Structure 1
Amino acid sequence: MKIGYRFASLYFVITLIILLIFSLSVYFGMQRILLNTLDENLRFVVDSVEENYDPATDKFEYMDKEPEEADPFLEYYVVIYDVSGRPIYKSAIAQKVSLKLPLSDRQTTRGRTTRITVKEAVQWVHPDRGGEITFRAFNRKIYYKDRQIGWVTIARPIEGIDESLNKLAFVFSIAILGTVILIALGSYFMTKRVLFPIDIITRKANQISHENLNERIRNVRSNDELGALAATLNGLLDRLQNAFESRRQFMADAAHELKTPLAVLRAHWEEELNNPVLSMVIKEKLTHDIETLSRMNHLINNLLLLSQTENLQSNFTFHPVRLDSIIQEVALDASVLSDLKSQTLRTEQLPEVTIQGDRERLYQLFFNILENAIKYTPENGEIRILAERKDETVEVTIQDSGPGIPAKDLPYIFDRFYRVKKDRSRRTGGSGLGLSIARLIAKAHGGRITAESKTGVGSVFKIKLPVTA
């Protein structure tokens, strides 16, 4: 998961937890306040019961009232007991509903919540769909001048409180849902905005390679840690560019310094080959040395080409060239090498296409890849060359039946001086520069090279180049 999503998710979860804690705190706090208010109301009713006691008759003044509308406790469950625990008064609700509270609770003054089933319709009582209703009730002793005159059990339905709490819960649910959506969107866009400079840095860093070290990370104007990171990476790129420039300059200088003495040696030994005084043994040694000097000169030329990476195109001469003609010429010259190993070299499907390019460099591109295929294809093996035009590009495929390239080495075969197997490169005389140079030439022509390979089956190189006609 991306760090932006992790930050947004963490912020979302923390905020959601805070909202839930706040909502639950408010909900249960409001529930406690409403129940305490109801308890206070019930205690007030109990106090009124005590005040309406008539010691002369040992009764309460409203006990003898018959009409239900005259009952002062229409909304309440009220049962008055004498000191022996015998009920002497029941309100209208108490006559139809029985709250069987434990005897020990009759001495409490703090309300408790109890839920019972109502079997018949009762005024002021509105049971739920299950026929149940919740009461807030408690028992208390009643006194007259410090003399206990009985007990009172009092209760009241709390559907009003439940309704208020349900509305509050609904409001909180809607508020939390809306807030969560806003927080999710806000955290996503805020995180994306905060991490936008990192995206810039990442994209730019992925675009920079040894071939364009002059690129720098721009558009990060932040003065915080991200700005410092961009500045640090730019400083690192400066040092890398200086190191690569030093290496490139060393390669160019060394190649230039070596070309002259090698040319002098070759000219001297070629002249000595015409000396009739020398024996055949000496002449054979000189011929071998001249071939070695040729290989060294070829390597030096490759190093010079690699040292000109930045302004490579300026050293090329571009003009319209027939690509099929170049491929046929390369195949003809390479057939001398393939014949030495009794290999079959076939050219197939070469359409007549014209591209804008440097004929000499394009020859070098295809010859390097074909030579590489010949080197690593065993005797009596087969190498195929074919081309196919696709819209505005032409794709040239060179396929061999060699040992293949291991998957772990395939991503690095175009790197300079990279060798799949060093012992194999020694036997074939490779320097590890041929494919690197081929890729540079293809890139300079606006094309690219890809490679596919299976161990024990062979390799396939595909060169894509833009066409002009």
Structure 2
Amino acid sequence: MFSIYKKLLVAYMLILACILLLLSVLFYQYFKADLFMKSQNTLLDAGQYINTLLIQFDRNTLTQHDLQQSINTVGEMTNARIVIVEGKEYLENEELLKDVFQIHDESLLTSLKEIFQGKTITRQIQLAEDLNSHVLGVGMPITIENEVRGAIVLFTPVSKLEGTLTKVVKMIFWVSVASFLIGVILIFIMSKSISKPIEQVSQSALQLASGKEVTDIPMTRKDEIGVLVQSFNEMKQQLQKTEKMRKELIAGVSHELRAPLAAIRGFVLGILDGVIPSNQQEKYLTVILKETEHLTRITDDLLDLAKLEAGNLPINKTVFNVSSLVNEVITILSKHRVDKGITIKTVYEAEILLLADKARIKQVILNLVENAIRYTNPGGNISISIRELSSTISISISDSGIGINVEELPYIFDKFYRVEKSRNHASGGIGLGLAIIKNIVDLHRGRIVVESERNIGSTFTVTLPKE
């Protein structure tokens, strides 16, 4: 099984090889066409020059010797064999034509006919026996006083051009090899930089799945791979946090259920076995009832949280008086407050109307006030204030209790998180209350914030839209 690094390396190398091969072929074809075109143009220019010389010879401004010498010079400069055909008798004698040109090309007679008709022809023709090479030929009419009097044919061996092309091929080959080697090095570095973070994510995911502790993967990129690494780190942190909360839930629920179930079982067995006398049974039945109510609260909290997170908790909004609701909560908790000698100060008007789910808002206020009483030392103070603004209503509950450490404030609304780690009845159970009220406030499009200082006290403020 190939790793992603090997796959990237092989894929990039194949792509690079294909690109270099394609560019090499295109460059070779372009250079070849350009080389032949320049050779043809050179022969055409030479043919035009020879035609000019023949015109001068016809006008007796150039001697036969000078004409021959000039044509020889042109042939040497262009590396071409020059054949001048005067008269049309060659067109009627193909064998004579082949004997003069020493080129066995059946189409030569046809080409000469086209030249005598005034056309200029360029072509690569068959093997010339005397030159032992394929040749590039150019033919053009001898035009004197607008009359075609013959043909000028120039041949140059293709072998000369092929020699140049061979050098070009070698150059292209070595340039391609050098480019490929440099490309392989760059591809190696690039493939490693791309695959390494992905492999780290893969290995970390496997370790995470097996339950091992995984550290964050270093962030060294700002592209999509960097986003992947960042997302994985955030997911890993969330999973580790969830796993921690799951363990705390198991520990908390186990502890919370074990004690009341053990008490209920013990008292029921005591009553059934007659260990507890009949005159004391009512007392122990009352204890059993309280433990049962505690178990019911735990079950209700778990069910409420599940419904809230699934979005299945109905919100039935009605208009009600928030001030009366707060007074009702204070009355419900009056026994706990009196037992600890806590004073509650209220600051709000007699009637403040709010459109919300009354039962759920009561649950929020009851939980916050109950927490304030629980974490306030005997003889302490609690203040409840309600502020009505143009579009919102704020409910603030302050206490002079033990407070919360600053580093713990960001986590107090998380499920199963508790500032007080001992999970007994008095210290608040399994830590679902604040998570539940946070979800209730969110469902009402409100917000809840907390300000606290250790050993000074805490203030929870719930802000809800009026409508």
Superposition TM-score, scaled by structure 2 size: 0.45
TM-score, length-scaled by structure 1:
0.45
Higher share of residues assigned helix: 2
